Amino acid sequence: MIKSVEVKPGCIACKTCQGICPQVFRVEGTSQVIGYDFEKYRQALLRAEKMCPVNVIKVDRDDTEETGDIFAHVTLTQYADLTPDVREFCFSTAWFSALPGQYVSLRMRDGAGEFKRSYSIVESSENSFKLCIKIVPDGRGGRVLSRLSVGDQVMASPAVGGFVLRDTPLPKVFIATGTGLAPMIAMLSATPNTVPKTVIFGVRREEDLFYLDTLRSYSNIRIVTTLSSPRGTWLGQKWRVTEYLDLVPPDAEVYLCGSPDMVESVREGLRARGHSESLVSAEEYVDQSLAPASDERSWFHRAWFDGEVPGIRPMQYALFSASAAVPILWYLGGFTPMLWDWSWYAVTLLMLIRPLADLFPRVMFFRSLLPLRQGLGILSASVVATNAWFAYIPNASDFLSTYFSVSHWAFSNRAFFAHGAELAGFVLLITSNEMSRKLLGPWWKRIQRLSYVYFFFAGVYLLYIGKTIVFPSMVLVAILWLAAHLKNRFTSPS
């Protein structure tokens, strides 16, 4: 008998448990237990426990009945690269059955031990299934799968999931980004020719497109491919998939698969157009590379070759803690020079990480540092904002004369760059959070480009006051950013 079901800390909101047993689990931020008729859903609960990719579902039972292993060996029969970072895998198995839109979990092993990852099914038959997977540089699953050869085996679960095609004659619209197209291919293959179909498929650049010939093979279909960061030679549609929601018929079933931000943005856009929420089904991708794992390999091996930097998350917490301590240290006095140094070094490192990751994509160490950029930006901007607070807020007249005096801005270059940096830093500081990201939508990323203004203005101001040490770092950042821009614009993918 099952006594209790618990979700332990560490849930990555992958919705595996909800897909297997929605009567007991619901994912809202993290997985939550919402039903308590455990015995009724006994088999589903035990399956959810076994298939949780981060092993946080714990089913407490007072019997010793062995439930058996739901995973079985599958063999890689062939693979093909669809884009520079998306690979198609075909596996054979003794028996297989899946509904269009479902996924499988693969159980794999690496130096850190055993782990699971879930992937949508592109195509299946009674003895095979096909997956297309983005090989994330710092993802455990991608690393293992990219090293498989034909004939190698992994363990796979049965097909599960509630994101499935509905058997209705209504028009169907499939909106996907990246490998979110995978379950859509399975759904399109199962949709009758008589049903009108629309596919809105978004990626960053032209080389990221795949399965276009497959999409064109379906009848009664309209295909929209759109690029969010097109190169100059692209003549097709541009911008994000949310720009094309006017193509959705009012009575159409809509299927969404992609990042949580994309799914939520499309949902909001459809709601604003009066589209019935009952006609919308969605599957969100979760970065499963965030799953915690211990690893016995050396720090150097993980950091340089696998892109894993032990301590990234503690470093993030340390940056946030240092940002919170800035006003206190400023108030205590005597720490001002040190805080300005913190600010400059933090923003310089922030500006270096992205171009280094773009210039050297195979050196995964640089990509693993990308999550630190938010904390570095908050730390740097907090120093500038704190300085403005202590300088102007106690004396409102100083603030008004500083920011609303044309002569103050126009005839003092030093003041122009100083206050420009203050304003940019303040805006970046108050928008560096998830709430702002959701509220601002596509404008959030545009606002974050103020970091360039902030870096340049702050650097020029520091040069004015004699901090010549900032000049080499400004030149280095400029060179790397220019090199990364030219590489992204003119280098064709291999």
Distance separating alpha carbons of residues 371 and 376, to the nearest angstrom: 10
189 in Cβ contact with 197 (< 8 Å): no
pLDDT band at 294 (very low <50, low <70, confident <90, very high): very low
My answer on whether 307 and 446 are in the same domain is yes
Specify if 161 maps to a domain.
no
Q: How large is the average pLDDT for residues 18-38?
A: 81
Phi, psi (rounded to 5 degrees) for 327? -60, -35
In the beta sheet, which residues pair with residue 86?
83, 134
Domain boundary among 286, 312, 337: 286
d(CA 430, CA 199): 37
Verify that 23 and 83 share a domain, yes or no. no
247 inside domain: yes
* Among candidate residues 380, 462, 347, 477, the one with its CA nearest the CA of residue 414: 462
Find out whether 10 and 56 touch, Cβ atoms under 8 Å: yes
Count: domains in the chain: 4
Token pair listed for 325? 């301590």
Query: Is 450 a member of any domain?
Result: yes
Statement: residue 396 has pLDDT above 70: no
pLDDT tens-digit readout, 72-126? 889 999 998 898 888 999 999 887 777 888 888 888 887 777 888 888 999 988 8
Question: The CATH number of the domain where 261 resides is what?
Answer: 3.40.50.80
Confidence class of residue 138 from pLDDT cuts 50, 70 and 90?
low
Please provide the size of the chain in residues.
494
pLDDT surpassing 60 at residue 434: yes
Cβ neighbors of 482 (< 8 A, separation 6 or more) are none
465 lies in the same domain as 326? yes
- What is the signed CA dihedral for 108, 18, 313, 306, rounded to 10 degrees? 20
Full-prediction pTM beyond 0.85? no
Please indicate, yes or no, whether residues 138 and 12 belong to a single structural domain of this protein.
Answer: no
User: Does residue 92 share a domain with residue 212?
Assistant: no
Claim to verify: residue 48 and residue 83 sit in the same structural domain: no
Residue 319 has pLDDT above 80, yes or no: yes
Closest CA to 200 of 232, 217, 222: 222
Which token pair is 18? 């909800």
What is the Cα–Cα distance from 206 to 212, expressed in whole angstroms? 11
Domain boundary among 286, 315, 332: 286
Whether residues 201 and 121 share a domain: the answer is: no
Boundary-marking domain end, from 20, 40, 61: 61
Q: What's CA 246's distance to the chain center, in Å?
A: 26
DSSP-H helix ranges across 369-412: 372-392, 396-403, 406-410
**What would the two tokens of residue 449 be?**
């480009």
Q: How far apart are CA 454 and CA 111, in angstroms?
A: 42
| Residue 35: domain span | 2-61
pLDDT category, 305, cuts 50, 70, 90? Answer: very low
Query: What burial letters (b/e) apply to 118-153, b meaning 16+ CB within 10 Å?
Result: bbbbbbbeeeebbbbbbbbbbbbbbbbbbebeeeee
